[in-house]
Amino acid sequence: MAYDLDQFIADCRSTLAKDPGPAGREQVRLDLEKLLANPDFIQKHCGDDQPRGLKVLYEDPKLGFQVLAHINDKARVSPPHDHGASWAIYGQATKYTDMSEWEREDDQADPKHAKLKLKTKYRLTPGQAGIYQDGAIHSIDYPDYARFVRVTGTNLDKINRIRIDPNTGVVEMMTPQQAT
**Could you say whether residue 180 binds Fe ion (CB under 5 A)?**
yes
Helical (H) or strand (E) element with 66? strand 66-71
Nearer Cβ to Fe ion, position 38 or 91? Answer: 91
Nearer Cβ to Fe ion, position 72 or 180? Answer: 180
Nearer Cβ to Fe ion, position 97 or 180? Answer: 180
Name the minimum Å distance from CB 83 to Fe ion. Answer: 6
Amino acid, res. 146: A
Nearer Cβ to Fe ion, position 38 or 139? Answer: 139
Name the minimum Å distance from CB 152 to Fe ion. Answer: 9
Q: Are strands 97-104 and 147-152 parallel, antiparallel or unpaired?
A: unpaired
Q: How far apart are CA 110 and CA 122, in angstroms?
A: 29
Q: Are strands 129-132 and 88-94 parallel, antiparallel or unpaired?
A: antiparallel
Handedness of CA 72, 75, 81, 82 (dihedral sign): positive
Q: Give how many residues touch Fe ion by CB under 5 A.
A: 1
97-134 burial code (b ≥16 CB/10 A, e <16): bebbbbebeeeeeeeeebebeeeeeeebebbbbbbbee
Name the minimum Å distance from CB 128 to Fe ion. Answer: 16
Name the minimum Å distance from CB 81 to Fe ion. Answer: 6
Contact string 150-179 vs Fe ion (x = CB under 5 A): ------------------------------
Name the minimum Å distance from CB 101 to Fe ion. Answer: 11
Q: How many helices (H) and strands (E) does the chain have?
A: 3, 11
Residue nearest to Fe ion (CB): 180
Q: Which residues bind Fe ion (CB under 5 A)?
A: 180
